């Protein structure tokens, strides 16, 4: 009998935040006080969200992160464990609070978010060095921009697998990182900042080509409810549409996409990229039909039961 093959390792250099979420009929105007409908707390942070999204789809996920020495830090560790995520490199930071995100959600699903990074600011190159063996041997390494840039830079230099950068929140100071980046994923706003013009469907092919010139091997621009477009060094620019749904809460949809994309890049690596992108769009679409962030991400299911449509740009 042949030995069972180990699952591909998904490693996330992650931000962790506790979400304080208010729901209201609409988003407030500047200086306006609105009466909301509901308040909830949850676990978030772009990196942790992406890790949870991949884990819920059956990925073998390992997180490298910093959390505070408050009650929320302890609860956050317990939350990660509940999804089967390896927390060997989830470090408590003394004298610092866990990161928080203040989120307002409107009845149409739109949101705005204010983040206080807390312990996330302390994720350092020393943390990467302590996890060196894990980082070097990751099949895919995910990072975002809610933790220090130099930490991501060092991790990407070490990793021998796929390096996926979700360049969010928007930051133009990532040129050096992109030289080591396999796959860059941004939304329209982030892409617009990086290419220095407003990205629309009509010019998205030009935007993708300009992103590729920065050094990454594959560039993906997510387009919210419309879907996503991508281009690679070897191929054409392709648009993959999303299914139409009525959203309840769009918070975390981009993270659901990135987590699913990472998981499918290593578990379905022989599939064409448009099919992987389509499956990740499907996961993100399912997430917006439920309230909350991590709790809205779909559990393990076969997103490859259908052939996803695409258009060559």
- In the set 60, 139, 255, 282, the catalytic residue is 255
19 marked as part of a ligand binding site: yes
Annotated ligand binding at 234? The verdict is: no
Q: Is 59 annotated as a binding residue?
A: no
Query: For residue 239, what are the β-bridge partners?
Result: 229, 311
Q: Tokens 């942070």, residue?
A: 45
Q: Is 45 annotated as a binding residue?
A: yes
Does residue 195 sit in helix, strand or coil? Answer: helix
251 is in an annotated binding site: yes
Of 88, 101, 89, 78, the closest CA to residue 155 belongs to: 89
Check whether 48 is labelled as a binding-site residue: yes
**227 labeled binding residue:** yes
DSSP strand pairing (38-44 vs 17-23): antiparallel
Alpha-carbon span 273 to 261, nearest angstrom: 10
Q: Nearest to residue 87, comparing CAs of 195, 148, 177, 11? A: 11
> Is residue 296 annotated as involved in ligand binding?
yes
Distances (CA, A) of 215 to 138, 141, 172, 218, 269: 21, 17, 14, 9, 22
27 among annotated binding-site residues = no
Q: Any known ligand binding at 31?
A: no
Does the annotation count 255 as an active-site position?
A: yes
**Residue 11, marked binder:** no
DSSP code of residue 224:
G
Q: How far apart are CA 271 and CA 264, in angstroms?
A: 9
Q: Which residues are annotated as a binding site for substrate?
A: 17-19, 45-49, 146, 255
Q: Which residues are annotated as a binding site for K(+)?
A: 249, 251, 287, 290, 292, 296
Enzyme catalytic residues: 255
Q: Which residues are annotated as a binding site for ATP?
A: 187, 222-227, 254-255
């Amino acid at each position: 009998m042949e030995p069972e093959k180990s699952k591909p390792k998904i490693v996330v250099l992650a931000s962790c935040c506790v979400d304080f979420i208010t729901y209201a009929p609409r988003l407030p105007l500047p200086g306006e006080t609105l009466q909301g409908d509901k308040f909830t707390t949850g676990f978030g942070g772009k990196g942790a969200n992406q890790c949870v999204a991949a884990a819920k789809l059956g990925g073998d996920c390992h997180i490298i992160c910093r959390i505070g020495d408050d009650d929320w830090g302890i609860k956050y560790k317990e939350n990660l464990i509940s999804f089967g995520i390896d927390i060997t490199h989830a470090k408590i930071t003394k004298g610092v609070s866990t990161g928080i995100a203040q989120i307002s959600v409107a009845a149409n699903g739109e949101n705005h978010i204010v983040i206080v990074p807390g312990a996330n600011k302390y994720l350092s190159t020393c943390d990467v060095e302590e996890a060196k063996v894990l980082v070097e041997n990751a099949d895919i390494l995910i990072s975002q921009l809610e933790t220090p840039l130099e930490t991501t830079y060092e991790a990407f230099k070490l990793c021998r697998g796929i390096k996926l950068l979700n360049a969010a929140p928007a930051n133009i100071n990532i040129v050096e990182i992109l030289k080591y980046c396999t796959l860059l994923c941004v939304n329209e706003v982030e892409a617009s900042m990086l290419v220095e013009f407003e990205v629309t469907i009509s010019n998205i092919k030009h935007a993708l080509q300009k992103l590729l010139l920065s050094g990454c091997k594959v560039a993906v621009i997510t387009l919210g409810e419309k879907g996503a477009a991508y281009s690679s060094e070897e191929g054409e620019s392709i648009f993959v549409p999303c299914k139409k749904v009525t959203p309840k809460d769009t918070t975390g949809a981009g993270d659901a996409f990135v987590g699913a994309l990472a998981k499918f890049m290593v578990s379905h690596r022989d599939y064409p990229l448009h099919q992987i992108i389509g499956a990740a769009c499907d996961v993100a679409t399912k997430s917006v039909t439920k309230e909350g962030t991590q709790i809205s991400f779909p559990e393990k299911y076969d997103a490859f039961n259908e052939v996803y449509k695409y258009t060559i740009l």
